[in-house]
Chains A and B, each alone.
Chain A
Amino acid sequence: MITIIKRVELPGLAVAALAVCVLAALCLGEPRLRPATALAALTDPAHPLRVPVWEVRLPRALLGLVAGAGLAAAGLLLQDVLRNPIAGPELLGVSSGAAVVVATIVVLGLGVPLVVQPWAALAGAVVAGALVLLAIGRTRDPAHVALVGAAVSAACGGLVVAVVGLGTQGNVVVLFRYLLGSLAARGWPHLETVTPLVAAGVGAAWLLRRRVEALTLGDDVAAGLGVPVTRTRVAAVGVAALLAAAVASVCGPVAFVALLAPHLARRLLGTVSTRRVLPLAVLLGGLLLALADLASRLLLYPVELPVGIATTLVGVPALVLLSRRTAVPA
């Protein structure tokens, strides 16, 4: 009975928390607004505060939700399909591979249209991910995979620094974005670029949910259930790479949301079943990134930190806890 209540109410609570979070994002900052004023500016195109609320704060808050949702779906797919509880686009080098490509495009002014950038980023994500997969060979040891992924990510970070250093506009904001991830100065065009891709990716994850869940029982059991094992694994990793690349092309390689959101959802729901975890994980991913963005804006106000610092500060201790809990006992 309790689990039934949980399954109905937790998504409701998450949606409510998301709404509060967006409202707070609209109100906080300079100038600080009352909720009523923020809502008035939202609904009235002639309102004097229309620009900060509608053009700056709203798209940024929504971008946080969408990007977080996409990252969460990517993390869930990778964790279940690779049977690795600490898998995620950031730990497989996928996010930072995407960031290298986009940083190169932006910093060197290559003039690639915004809508094409996610696909270019996907190429970077696939190359970095393929490097990791080649390097790990046949091992399935979660820690080993994460270690190789971290090495590839570090190499990509070095490339980002080099690229940003090469550029004429070599400023710290650009460096932050492609090294750590940031939602600063993102507007409607960015949201419009990433939203359809995230929607498609989350939809694909939903269609794949049962096959992915069967893969958690081992390849042979899944094959015995009629699941096309290799095709499912390739599809799920491809969808995860696309999601991570789409997000990274706009926000940079925001870390740990993909890792944490699925685990949080599993904890709250008390289940590991992919199909049950997916909806709440997606909502929590959006919530986590939106909260992290608020924190990064307000923590050292008026100085703004890149959101990637906030997610990393929360994510690293959580990763340590997780890897301790999932470590193979000696």
Chain B
Amino acid sequence: MSTTEPPVLAARGLSAGHARRVVVADLTLEVRPRTVTALVGPNGSGKSTLLMTLARVLRRQAGEVLLDDRPIDRLPSTEVARRLGVLPQTAVVPTGATVRELVEQGRYPQLGPWAMLRRHDDGAMRRALELTGLTPLADRRLDSLSGGERQRAWIAMTLAQETGVLLLDEPTTYLDVRHQIDLMRLVEHLRDDHGLTVVMVLHDLNQAARHADRVVALRDGRVLADGTPREVLTSGTLRSVFDVDALVVDDPVTGRPLFVAR
């Protein structure tokens, strides 16, 4: 992990929230290229609010967000969507749509003024379906899929965008153990072989410890800890962030910290 390269995504003095309510206040964060960052914190701590504001889905209240060193507000919205893909928690399943139709939507930012699909779009959609293991389910209706299959379809839509940055809000929700592992491997593969930068909200701290290069812990909209998994996942931070009493040991398989509640 290089710390000298300029950040792909950065927040400077960022305040974010809903309507006039401030959820995240004066937050500064830099995300280095080709890294996986896990955002952790209790329910309501502002993880989704922060992620959506970084993606410019929510309008920021103060401060600024930089994408590739440029203020994100100055980029046209399709340009932002070509560089940064986001999977919100609030996605609505359109009744009757198929997996392929959903994935196709991921191509929207790349389409020309007449919004016609071209050959390259087909390739991107095919790769997205393959990476998420959904090729055999491509023509199934979303409302006929299991929760986990549907979650993978949303991820495939985000991948079809072919962006360099991915922001994923709780991507492992609904997934069984196998598919959680597959998703984490996919994220690592995207980072290592495609040079992607990923920021994701995770609730499973051991997953964060195992697969993230960096963990950012939020509580009440403030960063309480930020660093490598080993730096952040200590029993002290777990107490201050989550109010849990936990033991942190070394994972015999990965050597990463492993958290066990007491």
Q: How far is the CA of A266 from the CA of B88 in the complex (A)?
A: 27
Closest to A216 in B: B94
Which one of A10-18, A60-68, A158-166, A218-226 is at the interface?
A218-226
Whether the Cβ atoms of B56 and A218 lie closer than 8 Å is no
Within 8 A of B (CB), among A198-230: 207, 209-211, 213-214, 216-221, 223-228
Q: For the complex, is B102 an interface residue (Cβ under 8 Å from A)?
A: yes
Within 8 A of A (CB), among B78-115: 78-82, 85-88, 90-92, 94-98, 101-102, 104-106, 108-109, 111, 115
Residues of A within 8 A of B56 (CB): 223
Q: How far is the CA of A207 from the CA of B98 in the complex (A)?
A: 23
Q: For the complex, is B186 an interface residue (Cβ under 8 Å from A)?
A: no
Q: How far is the CA of A34 from the CA of B98 in the complex (A)?
A: 47
Q: Count how many pairs of residues, one from A and one from B, have CB atoms less than 8 Å apart in the complex.
A: 80
Q: For the complex, is A273 an interface residue (Cβ under 8 Å from B)?
A: yes
Residues of B within 8 A of A210 (CB): 108, 111, 115
Q: For the complex, is B77 an interface residue (Cβ under 8 Å from A)?
A: yes
Q: For the complex, is A43 an interface residue (Cβ under 8 Å from B)?
A: no
Q: How far is the CA of A205 from the CA of B43 in the complex (A)?
A: 41
Whether the Cβ atoms of B77 and A226 lie closer than 8 Å is yes
Q: For the complex, is B45 an interface residue (Cβ under 8 Å from A)?
A: no
Q: How far is the CA of A207 from the CA of B114 in the complex (A)?
A: 7
Given contacts A213-B105, A214-B108, A220-B57, contact A225 B97 (CB under 8 A): no
Residues of B within 8 A of A218 (CB): 88, 90-92
The residue from B55, B76, B92 contacting A224, defined by CB atoms under 8 A apart: B55
Q: How far is the CA of A275 from the CA of B97 in the complex (A)?
A: 12
Whether the Cβ atoms of B81 and A226 lie closer than 8 Å is yes
Residues of A within 8 A of B161 (CB): 225
Whether the Cβ atoms of A217 and B105 lie closer than 8 Å is yes
Q: For the complex, is B10 an interface residue (Cβ under 8 Å from A)?
A: no
Q: For the complex, is A190 an interface residue (Cβ under 8 Å from B)?
A: no
Q: Output the least CB separation between B72 and chain A (Å).
A: 12
Given contacts A218-B90, A220-B90, contact A225 B81 (CB under 8 A): yes
The residue from B57, B102, B111 contacting A223, defined by CB atoms under 8 A apart: B57
Q: How far is the CA of A220 from the CA of B52 in the complex (A)?
A: 8
Whether the Cβ atoms of A224 and B102 lie closer than 8 Å is no
- Binary interface encoding of chain B residues 44-70 relative to chain A, with 1 for a CB under 8 A from any of its CBs, else 0: 000000001001110000000000000
Given contacts A210-B111, A225-B105, contact A272 B96 (CB under 8 A): yes
Residues of B within 8 A of A323 (CB): none
Within 8 A of B (CB), among A78-96: 83, 85
4 more A-B contacts (CB under 8 A) besides A210-B111, A275-B115? A207-B115, A210-B115, A225-B109, A272-B96
